[in-house]
């Protein structure tokens, strides 16, 4: 079993690390989707973030 680690910058946080466990060839969309969600969150303000939660 492979573990893929990707670190991305995030607003207000030094870094966010995403761990994807499994075969990256079978589920690359998981990491891609999380990365795009973080990119969207990074551009949002705290109010929008709280509403999402």
Domains of the chain by residue range: 3-52
**From the first residue on, what is the mean pLDDT of each consecutive set of 10 residues in the chain (53 residues)?**
59 58 59 67 58 56
* This model's pTM is above 0.85: no
| DSSP alpha helix (H) spans, 1-53 | 28-42, 46-52
Contact 20, 32 (CB under 8 A): no
What confidence score (pLDDT) does residue 11 get?
A: 60
The pLDDT mean for the chain works out to 60
């Amino acid at each position: 079993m492979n573990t893929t680690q990707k670190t991305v910058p995030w607003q207000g946080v030094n870094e966010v690390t995403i761990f994807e466990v499994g075969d990256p060839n079978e589920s690359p969309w998981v990491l891609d989707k999380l990365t795009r969600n973080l990119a969207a969150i990074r551009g949002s303000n705290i109010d929008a973030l709280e509403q999402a939660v």
